[in-house]
Copies of this chain bind each other. A is one copy, B any other.
Amino acid sequence: MRWLLMCLSMVSTMAVAESSPVAIALHGGAGTIERGKMSAELEATYRVFLEAAITDGHRQLAAGHPGLDVVVNVIQKMEDSPLFNAGKGAVYTWDGRHELDASIMHGQQLEAGAVAGVTTVKSPIALARTVMEDSPHVMLAAKGAEAFATAQGIESVDPDYFGTERRRKALEAYKADEYAGVEPEADYKFGTVGVVVLDKAGNLVAGTSTGGMTGKRWGRVGDSPIIGAGTYADNRSCAVSATGHGEFFIRHTVARDICARMQFGGASLHDATAEVVLKALVAAGGEGGVAAVDRAGNVALTFNTPGMYRASINATGVKTVGIFGDDE
């Protein structure tokens, strides 16, 4: 009898597992990304990366891998690439260091983990997951987060690992502008990578990882490690990862707001992201965008900047890869 119940339970689980379509969307940062400002070679490099990342993530989901694994795997690829402002290739703080933030959330039980201001952790998204799964806390910061990482055996690197020539030049340009008393070029506050998925079990998962804002000071924490601002996932509505001028995204609780408009207001994913990103944030002057997916496997890649590195495959298998505003 007990075996029969177990078998029935397994069949039931498999039935549920096979009943949900899968979908994935990702972003690699929004900003003044415009045709003519980028070499054809660099553009091709980004497109090849985005295409490979979304295809690989989708393949994992289709094979039945848990959404949590897929989100971490795809974000780690982006953290490891110097193309994006997360992990290797992270921007520099005012003091010439790297302070990394990340968060992850699982929509079934609203479990979440986040880290802010870590300087030696190779994969901040992996640490965020460990905070969620192996600590009683949701959010750890700075030195304490690193002590936890060490205790958990999370891979650490020399801070120099994160450095790249491109980001160092960006800091130098930022500081020169600041000292000259002129507004630094717009893109100093952008970057950030994020992935959202709907997995075969019907779970929505969101993750975000970033180096923050070029030239940031005073232990500034942006929206990426803030549950509700940069990341949110709730199986009842949607999963969202945000990128942009973090201060606005915190004040408008962007990720949660999109889900709340669906949950309490009955909005579609498309309308909810448009209301927040294209209306509320634009009215406030908050630049950036989001990657989002709902429980039906609809995806949204919505931004109010000239461009956003992005890719998606929705529940019906439609794939998009884009960089500029007028891409598909």
Chain A contacts to B: CB under 8 angstroms = 105, 109-112, 116-117, 135-145, 147-148, 216-222, 226-229, 232, 246-247, 250-253, 256-257, 260-261, 264-265, 267, 284
Contact = CB atoms under 8 A, between A and B. Distances in A.
A138 B216 CA distance: 12
Contact of A256 (B105, B112, B141, B228): B228
Given A218-B147, A218-B148, A226-B228, A260 B250 contact: no
A65 to B, nearest CB: 24
Per assembly, the copies of the chain total: 2
Contacts of A145: 218-219
B141 A247 contact: no
Contacts of A246: 138
Contact of A265 (B111, B229, B264): B264
A148 B246 CA distance: 19
Contacts of A267: 264
A141 B219 contact: yes
Q: Chain A: interface secondary structure? A: mixed
Contacts of A229: 227-228
7 contacts: A137-B220, A137-B247, A141-B141, A228-B229, A253-B256, A257-B260, A265-B265
A116 B141 contact: yes
Contacts of A139: 220-222, 226, 250
Contact of A143 (B142, B226, B252): B142
Given A226-B228, A229-B228, A232-B253, A117 B137 contact: no
A127 to B, nearest CB: 11
A240 to B, nearest CB: 12
A167 to B, nearest CB: 19
Nearest to A112: B251
Contacts of A256: 228, 253, 256-257, 260
Among A135, A138, A147, chain B packs the most CB atoms within 10 A around the CB of: A138
By Cβ-Cβ distance, the 9 closest A-B pairs, closest first, are A144-B219, A264-B265, A260-B260, A148-B218, A228-B253, A144-B218, A264-B264, A228-B228, A139-B221
Contacts of A228: 226, 228-229, 250, 253, 256
B135 A218 contact: yes
A138 B247 contact: yes
A265 B264 CA distance: 5
A137 B218 contact: yes
Contacts of A138: 221, 246-247, 250-251
A207 B73 CA distance: 38
Nearest to A217: B144
Nearest to A220: B137
A284 B108 CA distance: 12
A221 B246 CA distance: 18
A216 B136 CA distance: 10
Contacts of A284: 109-110
A261 B266 CA distance: 12
Nearest to A118: B219
Contacts of A112: 250-251
Given A110-B251, A138-B251, A256-B260, 16 more contacts: A109-B284, A117-B142, A137-B220, A138-B221, A138-B247, A139-B220, A139-B221, A139-B226, A140-B221, A141-B221, A145-B218, A226-B228, A227-B251, A227-B253, A253-B253, A261-B264
